[in-house]
Structure 1
Amino acid sequence: MSSDTKARIQAVARELFAQQGVQNTSLRQISERLGITKPALYYHFASRDDLVRSIVQPMVDDCERFVNACEPGVETRRLLEDYFDVIWKHREIIVMVVREMSTLAYLDLGRRMFEWRRALIGLLIGPEPTREGQIRATVALGGLADCTVEYAHLPLEQVKPAAVEAAAAALGLT
């Protein structure tokens, strides 16, 4: 029962954070939306910061797991498709971050995101990249991430094929 309540709190908080921003969402709003008391919410999360960290942590874990599991020589289109799947899974969190950039401070998210991007760029363009290759890879990965934000409301099967194809084109693949 307790983990179910915790999951419900996180789901409502994700929704409100994405709509209003983290700073504009109070724990009272979350508890009222859930129909629970504020002390009941505090039982599960000591503060809004704890709640935000609990929401962001699964994305951090999945992205780090993904980047660490990628091996040099992985097929480029496969890497793009798999990366899209990971970030699509966490699109609500990405929307939340884009809406309120201060969210990047949680779990040192800004630094981590740049590290993930650099590692993936290295995998996409190899150990001796040209400046053009770096720029193309940045556009490809950034474009995939932007699609998860801009088209988060659409079904995956409508977004992923076009997004991956555009990322591949940015890399010069046909």
Structure 2
Amino acid sequence: MGSTTTPRRSNTRQRIQDVALKLFLEQGYEKTALREISDELGVTKAALYYHFKTKEDILVSLFRDLGRHMDELIAWGKRQPRELAVKQELLARCSVIFHDAAPLFDILIANQATLDALSVGQDFKDRVAALSDLLQEENSSLNARVRCATALLTLHFGTFAIRQLDGDPEEKRLALLAGATELLTSAHEGILSGTAGPAAGVPPEG
């Protein structure tokens, strides 16, 4: 009996999240009422309350799920040697996470103040910073550090930007990942060759 209860609850929770996310995107988070979510689901508000008391709870749960995936990736990265192949794999995994979370980025951008008040926005920024740190090399040049940080930001902001382009979503994701990987690889190769100094066109100090 107990073995069938948990999956049913989990499925209901996922359905609530899916419907809420759809309405948040279609008509805006602030304009979406809990009653509309329950009506779309075809359930009573009491049934909805069993899983989520407010629409803020639903929104936080969506970002919490994203945060869990990012935390798992951060934990994996910390266990690995700081090698180029590992960093490339970290970018590849991050690309999938960001791609799947693209609708949440729309909500994040449109409701920055609300999400900051719920600490969701800051939590996401902290996780992005932690991932960026895993791509860095100690004592590397400013140019190399900028390239590593930009590689991750390319995935983050690019995931939103490429949605406006025509083309297959997976092909666009892979193209974006290729560009980010080029930045990361160029920084790493510059460190090994000792040429990752000032950016091109910027004269050295002195």
One fold, TM greater than 0.5? yes
Segment of structure 1 superposing worse, 5-14 or 94-103: 94-103
Segment of structure 1 superposing worse, 143-152 or 81-90: 143-152
Matches within 5 A, 1:134-149: 134-149=145-160
In 2 relative to 1, CA 16–150 (structure 1 residues): closer, same or farther, beyond 3 Å? farther
Indicate conservation of the 8 Å contact 1:18/1:96, yes or no.
yes
Matches within 5 A, 1:1-174: 1-70=8-77, 71-74=80-83, 75=85, 76-101=87-112, 102-106=114-118, 108-152=119-163, 155-171=168-184, 173=186
Indicate conservation of the 8 Å contact 1:121/1:137, yes or no.
yes
Encode CA deviations 1:38-68: one digit per residue, 9 max, x unaligned.
Answer: 2322232111122112222111111011112
RMSD of aligned residue pairs (Cα, Å):
2.4
Whole-Å separation in 2 of the counterparts to 1:77 and 1:125: 12
In 2 relative to 1, CA 152–16 (structure 1 residues): closer, same or farther, beyond 3 Å? farther
Q: TM-score, normalised by structure 2?
A: 0.72
Structure 1 stretches of 5 or more lacking a match?
A: none
**Larger radius of gyration, structure 1 or 2?**
2
Whole-Å separation in 2 of the counterparts to 1:100 and 1:132: 33
In 2 relative to 1, CA 7–113 (structure 1 residues): closer, same or farther, beyond 3 Å? closer
Return the offset for 1:155: 4.7
Structure 2 stretches of 5 or more lacking a match?
A: 1-7, 190-206
Identity %: 27
Whole-Å separation in 2 of the counterparts to 1:147 and 1:32: 35
Segment of structure 1 superposing worse, 115-124 or 139-148: 115-124
Return the offset for 1:90: 2.1
